[in-house]
Amino acid sequence: MKKLLFALLLFPSALLAQPTVIKAARLFDGTSDTIVRNAVIVVDGKRIVSVGGTIPADSRVIDLGDVTLLPGFIDSHVHLTAQAGDNWYLDYFQELMRQPAEQALLATIYARKTIEAGFTTVRNVGATDYVDVGLRNAINNGWVVGPRMLVSLYAIGATGGHGDGDPIPPARGYQQQGPMQGVCNGVGECRAAVRYQIKYGADVIKFMPSGGVLSLSDPVDAPELSQEEMNAIVEEAHHWGRKVAAHCHGDAAARMAVQAGVDSIEHGSFMKPETLAMMRDKGVYLVPTLLAGEWTGGRADKFPPPIAMKARAALAARSEMFRNAIKAGVKIAFGTDSAVSPHGMNPQEFALMTGLGMSPAAALRSATSVAATLLGVDDRVGTIATGKLADIVAVPGNPLDDIHQTEHVFFVMKEGTVVKNAK
Ligand SMILES: [Zn+2]
């Protein structure tokens, strides 16, 4: 006994070395079209060390029973640093009056809701005041619980465009923003805007080729940057080894962005079949954010009239676009634009995708292996396979028979640590 105690004092890691085995009736590995029966995943430390193998004698077994195990979900388009409520005008006032530190504390609540819904990795595409950087680092340091984050800092766009602030009269004391806050005009400033975001910690660059729904100054579908400016933003980001996500509703802007070499088009509401064919040929991903369209277009009356009009138009156009994207064979990565809808509702995107003709297996792949490849993290996450980080979630029943089961994630493991087990 004394000897054992001594050994544990000297080598406390011996206590942690016990592997964990997760058992369940079914497993979806993130790549296939089908379910594997009688799943056994062996986790040692942060990683998966075997799938379907034998159970080591000294392991801790978590037997979840008649459920399906899946790779931790990935949301390619969130804003964990904010969240819209039912009253647009009240939201506006409250966000204006909040200190960045308060906003960061709120963001920790959104991060927890997101991971508890089964999302162990997110791409945060647009934030202010470096709250996204703070949250990412806090999660990485273990200070707060949340998904692994790739962050873009400020989204980049033109004066008056979707990346700029609202047209609050300068007489009220609001300063026009510049390249540090992502607002740029001309090739030089656009390159500077990219460099500023990378300087302060951007993993990915987000920019605004077209107008947006939730902004007061711009038409939703107009191109807001010149071809030269788009080329400069994408080239600069790629030089620094960062991928580029392009916010685009309009078709012409999307074509320019694809021409510039972006990695993904976000939203894409008004894109035509020819543009979708270009995306397929160049391997550009679509991140459709159907939930955002549903949430804004379906509640348009809460917004000021210019936004309401844009929200309805985008919602009316996006279903046909999405069906055309599937038909064309465009790579589709799961993304919700959560913040527009409440954090934690992310899984509702699955049923919206299958409702517009995507197969349940393809929808699940879009939130696992496909999104991992878009984000460039497929060497670590996105599938349940030997050597990958142990990001594993469980849902009741079989999500290939009923996709709504994804809305009932009750078990979440991130990097080998159980974050939630509500069984
Ligand atoms: Zn967004």
Distance of CA 394 from the midpoint of ligand 1 (Å): 27
pLDDT average, residue stretch 28-37: 96
CA of 206 to the centre of ligand 1 (A): 9
Q: Read off the pLDDT band of 12 (50, 70, 90).
A: very low
Instruction: Evaluate the CA torsion angle 59, 63, 64, 68 in order and state its sign.
Output: positive
Instruction: Compute the distance from residue 340 Cα to the ligand 1 centre, in Å.
Output: 8
Cα of 350 to ligand 1 centre, how many Å? 18
pLDDT tens digits along 41-76: 999 999 999 999 889 999 999 999 999 999 999 999
Report in angstroms the alpha-carbon separations of 234 from 190, 206, 246, 258, 274.
Answer: 10, 10, 9, 10, 22
β-pair partners for 151: 124
DSSP state string for 80-143: TT----S-HHHHHHHHHHS-HHHHHHHHHHHHHHHHHTTEEEEEE---STTHHHHHHHHHHTTS
CA of 337 from ligand 1 middle (Å) equals 5
Only one residue has tokens 């799961």, namely 334
Distance (angstroms) between ligand 1 centre and the Cα of 312 equals 17
Q: Where residue 219 falls among pLDDT bands split at 50, 70, 90?
A: confident
| More confident of the two residues 16 and 310 | 310
Measured in angstroms, how far is the CA atom of residue 408 from the centroid of ligand 1? 24
**Which protein residues have a CB closer than 5 Å to ligand 1 (ion)?**
337
Separation of CA 79 and ligand 1 centre (Å): 6
Residue 11 has pLDDT above 60, yes or no: no
Q: Is the pLDDT of residue 14 over 50?
A: no
CA of residue 59 to ligand 1 center, whole Å: 43
pLDDT score recorded for residue 16: 55
pLDDT at site 303: 92
Asked if residues 419 and 412 have their Cβ atoms less than 8 Å apart, the reply is yes
Name the token pair of 274: 């020819």
Ligand 1 centroid to Cα of residue 228, in Å, is 24
Q: Burial-class residue 89 by CB neighbours within 10 Å (0-12, 13-18, 19+).
A: exposed
Name the percent of the chain lying above pLDDT 70.
Answer: 96
Q: What is the 3-state secondary structure (H, E, C) of 118-131?
A: CEEEEEECCCCCCH
The pLDDT, as a whole number, for residue 90 is 96
pLDDT at residue number 217: 84
CB-based contact 288:247 (threshold 8 Å) = no
Ligand 1 center–CA 169 separation, angstroms: 25
CA 84 / ligand 1 centre spacing (Å): 12
Average pLDDT over residues 340-362: 98
Token code pair at residue 55: 């159970």
Q: Are 410 and 394 in contact (CB under 8 A)?
A: yes
> Residue 414 forms beta bridges with which residues?
417
pLDDT per residue over 141-171, tens digit each?
999 999 999 999 999 999 999 999 999 999 9
Res. 400 pLDDT band, cuts 50 70 90: very high
